[in-house]
Chains A and B, each alone.
Chain A
Amino acid sequence: MTRSPTQFVLAARVLHWLMALLIVSMLFIGVGMVASVSERHAWLISIHKPLGIAILLLAVVRLIVRLRNPPPPLPADLPALQKFAAHASHWLLYVLMLLIPLVGWAMLSAGGYPVMLSDSLRLPSIFPANAVAFAVLRHAHAWLAMLLLLTFLAHLGAALYHGLIRRDGVLRSMVGGRAP
Protein backbone atom coordinates (compact mmCIF):
# COMPACT_ATOMS: atom_id res chain seq x y z
CA MET A 1 0.00 0.00 0.00
CA THR A 2 1.54 3.28 -1.03
CA ARG A 3 1.38 6.21 1.28
CA SER A 4 0.57 9.58 -0.12
CA PRO A 5 1.25 12.72 1.89
CA THR A 6 -2.23 14.00 1.09
CA GLN A 7 -3.97 11.14 2.84
CA PHE A 8 -4.14 9.46 6.20
CA VAL A 9 -2.69 5.95 6.13
CA LEU A 10 -5.17 3.17 5.45
CA ALA A 11 -5.12 1.94 9.08
CA ALA A 12 -5.96 5.46 10.28
CA ARG A 13 -8.81 5.79 7.78
CA VAL A 14 -10.29 2.39 8.64
CA LEU A 15 -10.06 3.13 12.37
CA HIS A 16 -11.55 6.58 11.87
CA TRP A 17 -14.66 5.41 10.04
CA LEU A 18 -15.18 2.34 12.23
CA MET A 19 -14.87 4.40 15.39
CA ALA A 20 -17.04 7.17 13.96
CA LEU A 21 -19.81 4.62 13.58
CA LEU A 22 -19.24 3.11 17.03
CA ILE A 23 -18.93 6.44 18.86
CA VAL A 24 -21.95 8.09 17.27
CA SER A 25 -23.97 4.92 17.99
CA MET A 26 -22.65 4.99 21.53
CA LEU A 27 -23.74 8.60 22.11
CA PHE A 28 -27.27 7.73 21.02
CA ILE A 29 -27.30 4.46 22.99
CA GLY A 30 -26.12 6.24 26.12
CA VAL A 31 -28.61 9.07 26.00
CA GLY A 32 -31.40 6.73 24.92
CA MET A 33 -30.92 4.13 27.64
CA VAL A 34 -31.09 6.62 30.50
CA ALA A 35 -34.28 8.13 29.04
CA SER A 36 -36.12 4.84 28.69
CA VAL A 37 -37.94 2.52 31.07
CA SER A 38 -38.86 0.05 28.34
CA GLU A 39 -37.17 -3.19 27.29
CA ARG A 40 -34.86 -0.93 25.27
CA HIS A 41 -33.27 0.13 28.57
CA ALA A 42 -32.04 -3.39 29.31
CA TRP A 43 -30.69 -4.24 25.89
CA LEU A 44 -29.11 -0.82 25.31
CA ILE A 45 -27.21 -1.19 28.60
CA SER A 46 -26.08 -4.68 27.59
CA ILE A 47 -24.65 -3.15 24.37
CA HIS A 48 -23.30 -0.01 26.06
CA LYS A 49 -20.76 -1.71 28.31
CA PRO A 50 -18.95 -4.03 25.85
CA LEU A 51 -19.12 -1.33 23.15
CA GLY A 52 -17.50 1.16 25.52
CA ILE A 53 -14.63 -1.21 26.23
CA ALA A 54 -14.28 -1.89 22.48
CA ILE A 55 -14.01 1.87 21.85
CA LEU A 56 -11.40 2.16 24.62
CA LEU A 57 -9.25 -0.60 23.08
CA LEU A 58 -9.64 0.79 19.55
CA ALA A 59 -8.73 4.28 20.80
CA VAL A 60 -5.45 2.92 22.21
CA VAL A 61 -4.66 1.24 18.88
CA ARG A 62 -5.61 4.41 17.05
CA LEU A 63 -3.42 6.59 19.24
CA ILE A 64 -0.45 4.33 18.43
CA VAL A 65 -1.24 4.50 14.69
CA ARG A 66 -1.56 8.27 14.94
CA LEU A 67 1.76 8.71 16.74
CA ARG A 68 3.59 6.44 14.28
CA ASN A 69 2.01 8.00 11.20
CA PRO A 70 1.86 11.79 11.25
CA PRO A 71 -1.28 12.99 9.45
CA PRO A 72 -1.04 14.97 6.21
CA PRO A 73 -0.44 18.65 6.88
CA LEU A 74 -3.35 21.05 6.80
CA PRO A 75 -3.52 23.43 3.80
CA ALA A 76 -0.92 26.17 4.10
CA ASP A 77 -3.48 28.88 3.44
CA LEU A 78 -5.79 27.74 6.29
CA PRO A 79 -6.15 30.62 8.80
CA ALA A 80 -4.13 30.07 11.98
CA LEU A 81 -7.22 30.06 14.17
CA GLN A 82 -8.78 27.27 12.11
CA LYS A 83 -5.53 25.28 12.25
CA PHE A 84 -5.47 25.65 16.00
CA ALA A 85 -9.14 24.62 16.26
CA ALA A 86 -8.44 21.57 14.09
CA HIS A 87 -5.51 20.38 16.18
CA ALA A 88 -7.16 21.15 19.52
CA SER A 89 -10.40 19.40 18.60
CA HIS A 90 -8.56 16.33 17.32
CA TRP A 91 -6.63 15.94 20.56
CA LEU A 92 -9.79 16.61 22.54
CA LEU A 93 -11.48 13.78 20.64
CA TYR A 94 -8.60 11.42 21.51
CA VAL A 95 -8.76 12.42 25.18
CA LEU A 96 -12.54 11.87 25.30
CA MET A 97 -12.40 8.53 23.44
CA LEU A 98 -10.02 7.24 26.11
CA LEU A 99 -11.45 9.05 29.12
CA ILE A 100 -15.19 8.43 28.80
CA PRO A 101 -14.98 4.60 28.83
CA LEU A 102 -12.50 4.73 31.73
CA VAL A 103 -14.80 7.04 33.70
CA GLY A 104 -17.73 4.71 32.97
CA TRP A 105 -15.75 1.70 34.17
CA ALA A 106 -14.58 3.55 37.30
CA MET A 107 -18.13 4.77 37.93
CA LEU A 108 -19.57 1.24 37.96
CA SER A 109 -16.68 0.13 40.19
CA ALA A 110 -17.32 2.99 42.64
CA GLY A 111 -21.03 2.12 42.68
CA GLY A 112 -20.16 -1.42 43.77
CA TYR A 113 -21.57 -2.94 40.59
CA PRO A 114 -19.94 -5.94 38.96
CA VAL A 115 -18.73 -4.72 35.54
CA MET A 116 -20.32 -7.37 33.34
CA LEU A 117 -19.54 -7.27 29.61
CA SER A 118 -21.69 -10.34 28.95
CA ASP A 119 -23.59 -12.93 30.98
CA SER A 120 -20.34 -14.28 32.37
CA LEU A 121 -17.45 -11.94 31.41
CA ARG A 122 -16.65 -9.64 34.29
CA LEU A 123 -14.00 -6.92 34.31
CA PRO A 124 -12.14 -6.22 37.54
CA SER A 125 -13.02 -3.19 39.62
CA ILE A 126 -10.73 -0.19 38.95
CA PHE A 127 -12.02 2.03 41.76
CA PRO A 128 -12.91 1.32 45.41
CA ALA A 129 -16.63 1.23 46.22
CA ASN A 130 -17.55 4.74 47.29
CA ALA A 131 -20.95 6.38 46.85
CA VAL A 132 -19.61 9.94 46.70
CA ALA A 133 -17.09 8.97 44.03
CA PHE A 134 -19.87 7.16 42.15
CA ALA A 135 -22.00 10.31 42.03
CA VAL A 136 -19.09 12.48 40.82
CA LEU A 137 -18.00 9.94 38.19
CA ARG A 138 -21.58 9.32 37.01
CA HIS A 139 -22.13 13.03 36.39
CA ALA A 140 -18.68 13.34 34.80
CA HIS A 141 -19.52 10.45 32.45
CA ALA A 142 -22.63 12.27 31.22
CA TRP A 143 -21.03 15.74 30.91
CA LEU A 144 -17.98 14.38 29.11
CA ALA A 145 -20.33 12.59 26.72
CA MET A 146 -22.13 15.88 26.04
CA LEU A 147 -18.74 17.50 25.38
CA LEU A 148 -17.96 14.64 22.99
CA LEU A 149 -21.25 15.25 21.16
CA LEU A 150 -20.42 18.95 20.78
CA THR A 151 -16.87 18.15 19.62
CA PHE A 152 -18.27 15.63 17.15
CA LEU A 153 -20.70 18.26 15.79
CA ALA A 154 -17.84 20.74 15.36
CA HIS A 155 -15.75 18.03 13.67
CA LEU A 156 -18.58 17.05 11.32
CA GLY A 157 -19.34 20.69 10.50
CA ALA A 158 -15.68 21.44 9.84
CA ALA A 159 -15.27 18.33 7.66
CA LEU A 160 -18.26 19.37 5.54
CA TYR A 161 -16.93 22.94 5.39
CA HIS A 162 -13.64 21.63 4.01
CA GLY A 163 -15.42 19.30 1.62
CA LEU A 164 -18.18 21.58 0.34
CA ILE A 165 -16.96 25.15 0.79
CA ARG A 166 -13.16 25.20 0.78
CA ARG A 167 -12.79 22.00 -1.29
CA ASP A 168 -9.16 21.91 -0.19
CA GLY A 169 -8.53 18.15 0.02
CA VAL A 170 -8.84 17.93 3.82
CA LEU A 171 -12.04 15.85 3.71
CA ARG A 172 -10.57 13.72 0.93
CA SER A 173 -7.52 12.99 3.09
CA MET A 174 -9.80 10.92 5.35
CA VAL A 175 -12.39 9.74 2.82
CA GLY A 176 -9.71 8.35 0.54
CA GLY A 177 -9.71 8.28 -3.24
CA ARG A 178 -7.51 10.19 -5.66
CA ALA A 179 -7.21 13.92 -5.95
CA PRO A 180 -8.92 15.26 -9.09
Chain B
Amino acid sequence: MNAPSQFPAPPPLSRSSMLLRFALIGAVLLIVVLAFGYVGGWLAPQRLTAQRMVNQLQANAGVFPGYRRNHAKGVCVAGYFDSNGQAQAFSVAQVFAPGRTPVVGRFAVPVGNPYAPDSSAPIRSMALRFTEANGQQWRSGMNSMPVFPVGTPQAFFELLQAQHPDPASGKPDPAKLGAFFASHPETSAFLAWVKTAKPSASYATESYWSLNAFVLVDANGDKHPVRWRMVAENGNSTPGGSDPNYLDADLAQRLAQGPQRWHLVLTLASPGDPTDDASKEWPADRHEVDAGTLVLTGTEPQESGPCRDINYDPTVLPNGIQISDDPLLPARSAAYATSYLRRTSEEAHLPGTAASHTEAK
Protein backbone atom coordinates (compact mmCIF):
# COMPACT_ATOMS: atom_id res chain seq x y z
CA MET B 1 0.00 0.00 0.00
CA ASN B 2 1.17 3.48 -0.82
CA ALA B 3 1.43 6.14 1.83
CA PRO B 4 -0.36 9.34 0.73
CA SER B 5 2.97 11.04 0.08
CA GLN B 6 3.70 8.38 -2.52
CA PHE B 7 0.24 8.69 -4.06
CA PRO B 8 0.84 8.31 -7.82
CA ALA B 9 1.08 11.76 -9.33
CA PRO B 10 -1.92 12.34 -11.62
CA PRO B 11 -1.40 13.61 -15.15
CA PRO B 12 -1.28 17.40 -15.14
CA LEU B 13 -4.48 19.29 -16.01
CA SER B 14 -4.66 21.53 -19.03
CA ARG B 15 -5.21 25.21 -18.30
CA SER B 16 -8.82 25.13 -19.50
CA SER B 17 -9.56 21.93 -17.60
CA MET B 18 -8.14 23.45 -14.42
CA LEU B 19 -10.27 26.60 -14.83
CA LEU B 20 -13.35 24.51 -15.45
CA ARG B 21 -12.74 22.52 -12.28
CA PHE B 22 -12.22 25.64 -10.20
CA ALA B 23 -15.45 27.05 -11.68
CA LEU B 24 -17.25 23.84 -10.74
CA ILE B 25 -16.04 24.08 -7.13
CA GLY B 26 -17.11 27.73 -7.01
CA ALA B 27 -20.52 26.86 -8.42
CA VAL B 28 -21.10 24.13 -5.82
CA LEU B 29 -20.25 26.52 -2.99
CA LEU B 30 -22.37 29.28 -4.50
CA ILE B 31 -25.39 26.98 -4.77
CA VAL B 32 -25.08 26.06 -1.09
CA VAL B 33 -24.84 29.74 -0.10
CA LEU B 34 -27.81 30.73 -2.28
CA ALA B 35 -29.96 27.86 -0.96
CA PHE B 36 -29.08 28.86 2.60
CA GLY B 37 -29.90 32.49 1.86
CA TYR B 38 -33.24 31.52 0.38
CA VAL B 39 -34.25 29.19 3.22
CA GLY B 40 -33.11 31.81 5.75
CA GLY B 41 -35.31 34.46 4.12
CA TRP B 42 -32.52 36.90 3.12
CA LEU B 43 -33.11 36.13 -0.56
CA ALA B 44 -36.91 35.93 -0.12
CA PRO B 45 -37.79 39.37 1.30
CA GLN B 46 -41.47 38.99 0.45
CA ARG B 47 -41.92 36.00 2.77
CA LEU B 48 -43.83 36.78 5.94
CA THR B 49 -41.46 36.24 8.86
CA ALA B 50 -41.77 36.71 12.59
CA GLN B 51 -39.24 39.52 12.31
CA ARG B 52 -41.49 41.41 9.87
CA MET B 53 -44.52 40.89 12.11
CA VAL B 54 -42.73 42.18 15.19
CA ASN B 55 -41.25 45.07 13.20
CA GLN B 56 -44.79 46.06 12.27
CA LEU B 57 -45.90 45.89 15.92
CA GLN B 58 -42.96 48.17 16.78
CA ALA B 59 -43.78 50.53 13.92
CA ASN B 60 -47.35 50.82 15.20
CA ALA B 61 -46.68 51.27 18.92
CA GLY B 62 -43.05 52.32 19.25
CA VAL B 63 -40.20 50.46 20.96
CA PHE B 64 -40.21 50.12 24.74
CA PRO B 65 -37.00 48.30 25.70
CA GLY B 66 -37.44 45.26 27.90
CA TYR B 67 -41.19 45.05 27.30
CA ARG B 68 -43.20 42.60 25.23
CA ARG B 69 -43.86 43.81 21.69
CA ASN B 70 -47.59 43.30 22.15
CA HIS B 71 -49.74 43.02 25.29
CA ALA B 72 -46.96 45.16 26.76
CA LYS B 73 -48.99 46.53 29.67
CA GLY B 74 -49.62 43.85 32.23
CA VAL B 75 -49.14 42.39 35.67
CA CYS B 76 -47.90 39.08 37.11
CA VAL B 77 -50.15 36.72 39.02
CA ALA B 78 -49.59 33.43 40.80
CA GLY B 79 -51.76 30.61 42.04
CA TYR B 80 -52.67 27.07 41.14
CA PHE B 81 -55.03 24.92 39.12
CA ASP B 82 -57.19 22.41 40.97
CA SER B 83 -58.09 19.67 38.51
CA ASN B 84 -61.28 17.70 39.19
CA GLY B 85 -60.25 14.84 36.88
CA GLN B 86 -63.14 15.37 34.44
CA ALA B 87 -60.80 16.00 31.47
CA GLN B 88 -58.80 12.81 32.05
CA ALA B 89 -61.09 10.90 29.72
CA PHE B 90 -59.87 13.13 26.87
CA SER B 91 -56.23 13.83 27.71
CA VAL B 92 -53.38 12.08 29.47
CA ALA B 93 -51.86 15.42 30.48
CA GLN B 94 -50.80 15.29 34.13
CA VAL B 95 -52.43 18.69 34.69
CA PHE B 96 -55.85 17.03 34.18
CA ALA B 97 -55.34 14.29 36.77
CA PRO B 98 -57.09 15.11 40.04
CA GLY B 99 -54.83 17.39 42.05
CA ARG B 100 -53.07 20.71 42.11
CA THR B 101 -50.69 22.24 39.55
CA PRO B 102 -48.82 25.50 40.27
CA VAL B 103 -49.43 28.41 37.91
CA VAL B 104 -47.51 31.59 37.09
CA GLY B 105 -49.62 33.92 35.01
CA ARG B 106 -49.97 37.37 33.59
CA PHE B 107 -52.89 39.65 32.84
CA ALA B 108 -52.40 42.26 30.13
CA VAL B 109 -53.97 44.85 27.88
CA PRO B 110 -53.42 44.11 24.18
CA VAL B 111 -51.40 47.22 23.38
CA GLY B 112 -47.76 47.69 22.36
CA ASN B 113 -47.21 50.68 24.67
CA PRO B 114 -46.79 49.69 28.35
CA TYR B 115 -47.82 53.21 29.37
CA ALA B 116 -51.06 53.29 27.39
CA PRO B 117 -54.29 53.81 29.37
CA ASP B 118 -56.10 50.69 30.55
CA SER B 119 -59.07 51.72 28.43
CA SER B 120 -57.01 51.68 25.20
CA ALA B 121 -58.57 48.38 24.17
CA PRO B 122 -61.86 46.68 25.08
CA ILE B 123 -59.97 43.41 25.48
CA ARG B 124 -57.95 41.89 28.34
CA SER B 125 -55.66 38.90 28.14
CA MET B 126 -54.71 36.11 30.49
CA ALA B 127 -51.50 34.12 30.03
CA LEU B 128 -50.77 31.06 32.13
CA ARG B 129 -47.90 28.68 32.67
CA PHE B 130 -48.84 25.43 34.37
CA THR B 131 -45.82 23.46 35.60
CA GLU B 132 -46.59 19.77 35.96
CA ALA B 133 -44.88 17.60 38.58
CA ASN B 134 -43.10 15.77 35.73
CA GLY B 135 -41.44 19.02 34.63
CA GLN B 136 -43.52 19.41 31.49
CA GLN B 137 -45.30 22.70 30.98
CA TRP B 138 -48.51 24.00 29.51
CA ARG B 139 -48.41 27.61 28.40
CA SER B 140 -51.51 29.37 27.19
CA GLY B 141 -52.26 32.90 26.03
CA MET B 142 -55.97 33.72 26.08
CA ASN B 143 -58.05 36.80 25.28
CA SER B 144 -61.34 38.10 26.65
CA MET B 145 -63.10 37.67 23.33
CA PRO B 146 -64.76 34.59 21.88
CA VAL B 147 -63.40 34.88 18.36
CA PHE B 148 -60.27 36.22 16.63
CA PRO B 149 -60.60 38.81 13.85
CA VAL B 150 -58.67 36.79 11.26
CA GLY B 151 -57.68 33.21 10.59
CA THR B 152 -54.24 33.42 8.99
CA PRO B 153 -50.86 35.00 9.81
CA GLN B 154 -50.92 36.89 6.50
CA ALA B 155 -54.31 38.46 7.27
CA PHE B 156 -53.12 39.36 10.78
CA PHE B 157 -50.05 41.05 9.30
CA GLU B 158 -52.26 43.03 6.92
CA LEU B 159 -54.45 44.04 9.87
CA LEU B 160 -51.34 45.32 11.69
CA GLN B 161 -50.36 47.25 8.57
CA ALA B 162 -53.85 48.77 8.37
CA GLN B 163 -53.59 49.78 12.04
CA HIS B 164 -50.34 51.70 11.46
CA PRO B 165 -50.88 55.21 12.86
CA ASP B 166 -51.14 58.03 10.39
CA PRO B 167 -48.17 60.37 11.04
CA ALA B 168 -50.46 63.44 10.99
CA SER B 169 -53.16 62.29 13.41
CA GLY B 170 -51.23 59.68 15.39
CA LYS B 171 -54.19 57.36 14.87
CA PRO B 172 -54.90 54.60 12.36
CA ASP B 173 -56.33 55.83 9.09
CA PRO B 174 -60.06 54.89 9.19
CA ALA B 175 -60.10 54.51 5.40
CA LYS B 176 -57.30 51.93 5.51
CA LEU B 177 -58.93 50.04 8.39
CA GLY B 178 -62.27 50.13 6.58
CA ALA B 179 -60.66 48.81 3.41
CA PHE B 180 -59.04 46.00 5.37
CA PHE B 181 -62.27 44.88 7.03
CA ALA B 182 -64.18 45.20 3.74
CA SER B 183 -61.71 42.92 2.01
CA HIS B 184 -61.68 40.43 4.91
CA PRO B 185 -65.23 39.16 5.44
CA GLU B 186 -63.95 36.60 7.97
CA THR B 187 -63.67 39.52 10.44
CA SER B 188 -67.49 39.86 10.67
CA ALA B 189 -67.91 37.69 13.80
CA PHE B 190 -65.22 39.68 15.63
CA LEU B 191 -66.65 43.02 14.45
CA ALA B 192 -70.12 42.04 15.68
CA TRP B 193 -68.66 41.14 19.08
CA VAL B 194 -66.41 44.20 19.42
CA LYS B 195 -69.34 46.60 18.89
CA THR B 196 -70.72 45.46 22.25
CA ALA B 197 -67.36 45.28 24.05
CA LYS B 198 -66.22 47.83 26.62
CA PRO B 199 -62.87 48.07 28.47
CA SER B 200 -63.63 46.27 31.73
CA ALA B 201 -62.81 47.72 35.14
CA SER B 202 -61.24 44.46 36.28
CA TYR B 203 -59.21 41.55 35.01
CA ALA B 204 -60.99 39.33 37.53
CA THR B 205 -64.48 39.58 36.04
CA GLU B 206 -63.55 38.59 32.49
CA SER B 207 -63.55 35.22 30.82
CA TYR B 208 -60.67 34.32 28.54
CA TRP B 209 -60.81 32.24 25.35
CA SER B 210 -58.00 30.11 23.83
CA LEU B 211 -59.27 31.22 20.38
CA ASN B 212 -57.05 28.68 18.64
CA ALA B 213 -57.99 25.02 18.53
CA PHE B 214 -55.78 22.37 20.11
CA VAL B 215 -55.88 18.57 20.22
CA LEU B 216 -56.26 16.51 23.37
CA VAL B 217 -54.78 13.00 23.27
CA ASP B 218 -56.30 10.35 25.51
CA ALA B 219 -54.79 7.18 26.96
CA ASN B 220 -55.74 5.20 23.86
CA GLY B 221 -54.02 7.72 21.62
CA ASP B 222 -57.35 9.00 20.34
CA LYS B 223 -57.40 12.66 19.46
CA HIS B 224 -60.04 15.18 20.49
CA PRO B 225 -59.97 18.66 18.89
CA VAL B 226 -60.75 21.25 21.50
CA ARG B 227 -60.92 24.93 22.36
CA TRP B 228 -61.03 26.19 25.93
CA ARG B 229 -61.83 29.21 27.99
CA MET B 230 -61.35 30.38 31.55
CA VAL B 231 -64.76 31.41 32.89
CA ALA B 232 -64.71 33.88 35.78
CA GLU B 233 -66.67 32.75 38.85
CA ASN B 234 -67.40 36.42 39.41
CA GLY B 235 -68.53 37.45 35.95
CA ASN B 236 -69.91 40.78 37.10
CA SER B 237 -68.07 42.86 34.48
CA THR B 238 -68.36 46.64 34.66
CA PRO B 239 -66.80 49.25 32.37
CA GLY B 240 -63.61 50.93 33.57
CA GLY B 241 -63.37 54.62 34.45
CA SER B 242 -61.36 57.45 32.98
CA ASP B 243 -58.25 56.88 35.12
CA PRO B 244 -55.40 55.59 32.94
CA ASN B 245 -54.36 52.89 35.43
CA TYR B 246 -57.05 51.07 37.35
CA LEU B 247 -56.61 47.40 36.47
CA ASP B 248 -53.57 46.59 38.64
CA ALA B 249 -54.98 48.30 41.74
CA ASP B 250 -58.35 46.58 41.25
CA LEU B 251 -56.67 43.20 41.01
CA ALA B 252 -54.50 43.79 44.09
CA GLN B 253 -57.54 44.90 46.06
CA ARG B 254 -59.59 41.86 45.08
CA LEU B 255 -56.72 39.48 45.85
CA ALA B 256 -56.22 41.12 49.24
CA GLN B 257 -59.81 40.11 50.02
CA GLY B 258 -59.38 36.56 48.77
CA PRO B 259 -58.38 34.30 45.89
CA GLN B 260 -60.01 34.85 42.48
CA ARG B 261 -61.38 31.84 40.63
CA TRP B 262 -62.02 30.73 37.07
CA HIS B 263 -63.33 27.46 35.67
CA LEU B 264 -61.41 25.84 32.84
CA VAL B 265 -64.12 24.84 30.36
CA LEU B 266 -63.07 22.62 27.46
CA THR B 267 -65.23 22.73 24.34
CA LEU B 268 -64.96 19.53 22.32
CA ALA B 269 -65.34 19.86 18.55
CA SER B 270 -67.96 17.96 16.63
CA PRO B 271 -66.92 16.48 13.29
CA GLY B 272 -66.65 19.29 10.76
CA ASP B 273 -65.99 22.10 13.23
CA PRO B 274 -63.12 24.20 11.88
CA THR B 275 -59.89 23.72 13.85
CA ASP B 276 -57.82 25.76 11.40
CA ASP B 277 -59.70 29.07 11.56
CA ALA B 278 -59.83 31.10 14.79
CA SER B 279 -62.13 33.66 13.10
CA LYS B 280 -64.99 31.13 13.14
CA GLU B 281 -66.88 30.33 16.33
CA TRP B 282 -68.07 26.80 16.96
CA PRO B 283 -71.81 26.29 17.51
CA ALA B 284 -72.91 26.91 21.09
CA ASP B 285 -74.29 23.41 21.68
CA ARG B 286 -70.94 21.64 21.67
CA HIS B 287 -70.04 19.20 24.46
CA GLU B 288 -68.28 21.04 27.28
CA VAL B 289 -66.21 19.73 30.17
CA ASP B 290 -65.43 21.68 33.33
CA ALA B 291 -61.88 20.48 33.97
CA GLY B 292 -61.26 22.29 37.24
CA THR B 293 -60.66 25.61 38.92
CA LEU B 294 -57.92 28.16 38.40
CA VAL B 295 -57.25 29.88 41.71
CA LEU B 296 -55.15 33.05 41.64
CA THR B 297 -53.83 34.16 45.00
CA GLY B 298 -51.23 36.86 44.46
CA THR B 299 -50.00 39.58 42.14
CA GLU B 300 -46.69 41.36 41.53
CA PRO B 301 -45.61 44.10 39.10
CA GLN B 302 -44.44 42.70 35.78
CA GLU B 303 -41.11 44.54 36.01
CA SER B 304 -40.03 42.39 38.98
CA GLY B 305 -42.49 39.50 39.09
CA PRO B 306 -41.95 35.91 37.98
CA CYS B 307 -43.95 36.33 34.75
CA ARG B 308 -41.48 38.85 33.34
CA ASP B 309 -39.09 36.32 31.85
CA ILE B 310 -41.73 33.86 30.65
CA ASN B 311 -42.57 33.69 26.96
CA TYR B 312 -46.22 32.58 26.99
CA ASP B 313 -45.82 30.65 23.74
CA PRO B 314 -49.08 28.69 23.31
CA THR B 315 -47.26 25.87 21.53
CA VAL B 316 -45.38 24.89 24.71
CA LEU B 317 -47.56 21.93 25.64
CA PRO B 318 -47.35 18.86 27.87
CA ASN B 319 -47.82 15.28 26.76
CA GLY B 320 -51.57 14.91 26.15
CA ILE B 321 -52.12 18.31 24.51
CA GLN B 322 -50.98 19.09 20.95
CA ILE B 323 -51.27 21.96 18.52
CA SER B 324 -54.00 21.68 15.89
CA ASP B 325 -53.76 22.63 12.21
CA ASP B 326 -54.58 26.25 13.14
CA PRO B 327 -52.04 28.31 11.11
CA LEU B 328 -52.02 31.07 13.73
CA LEU B 329 -50.34 28.82 16.30
CA PRO B 330 -46.91 28.44 14.65
CA ALA B 331 -47.03 32.15 13.76
CA ARG B 332 -47.74 33.07 17.38
CA SER B 333 -44.88 30.83 18.50
CA ALA B 334 -42.46 32.41 16.01
CA ALA B 335 -43.51 35.99 16.74
CA TYR B 336 -43.46 35.50 20.52
CA ALA B 337 -39.96 34.02 20.23
CA THR B 338 -38.81 37.07 18.28
CA SER B 339 -40.36 39.43 20.83
CA TYR B 340 -38.78 37.41 23.67
CA LEU B 341 -35.33 37.52 22.08
CA ARG B 342 -35.55 41.26 21.52
CA ARG B 343 -36.68 42.11 25.03
CA THR B 344 -34.25 39.72 26.75
CA SER B 345 -31.44 41.11 24.58
CA GLU B 346 -32.44 44.54 25.85
CA GLU B 347 -32.40 43.27 29.43
CA ALA B 348 -28.90 41.94 28.73
CA HIS B 349 -27.90 45.32 27.24
CA LEU B 350 -26.46 43.55 24.22
CA PRO B 351 -24.98 45.74 21.48
CA GLY B 352 -27.47 46.79 18.83
CA THR B 353 -30.49 46.74 21.14
CA ALA B 354 -32.57 49.71 22.20
CA ALA B 355 -31.63 49.14 25.86
CA SER B 356 -29.78 52.41 26.45
CA HIS B 357 -33.16 54.12 26.11
CA THR B 358 -34.35 52.51 29.37
CA GLU B 359 -31.40 53.78 31.36
CA ALA B 360 -32.29 57.32 30.44
CA LYS B 361 -35.74 56.89 31.97
Contact = CB atoms under 8 A, between A and B. Distances in A.
B7 A139 contact: no
B134 interface: yes
19 contacts: A5-B3, A5-B4, A6-B2, A6-B7, A27-B36, A28-B39, A32-B39, A34-B50, A35-B39, A35-B47, A35-B51, A36-B41, A42-B329, A112-B311, A119-B319, A124-B135, A132-B347, A135-B350, A157-B28
Interface string B329-343: 111011101001100
A167 interface: yes
Contacts of A39: 325, 327, 330
A42 B330 contact: yes
A161 B330 contact: no
Shortest 6 CB-CB contacts between residues of A and residues of B: A35-B41, A76-B5, A120-B319, A31-B40, A37-B331, A135-B344
B249 interface: no
A134 B343 CA distance: 11
A9 B347 CA distance: 49
A160 to B, nearest CB: 4
B29 A157 contact: yes
A132 B137 contact: no
A6 B3 contact: yes
A41 interface: yes
A52 to B, nearest CB: 16
Interface residues of A, number: 56
Interface in B24-53: 24-25, 28-29, 32-33, 35-36, 39-41, 47-51, 53
Interface of B: 1-5, 7-8, 10, 13, 18, 21-22, 24-25, 28-29, 32-33, 35-36, 39-41, 47-51, 53, 134-137, 153, 217, 308-311, 315-316, 319, 322-323, 325, 327, 329-331, 333-335, 337, 340-341, 344-345, 347-348, 350
B50 A160 contact: no
A73 interface: yes
A73 B5 contact: yes
B39 A168 contact: no
B49 A5 contact: no
Contacts, number: 153
Contacts of A160: 24-25, 28
Contacts of A149: 36
A57 interface: no
Contact of A73 (B4, B25, B334): B4
A114 B135 CA distance: 7
Contacts of B135: 114, 122, 124
A35 B350 contact: no
A86 to B, nearest CB: 12
Nearest to B332: A37
Nearest to B313: A113
A61 interface: no
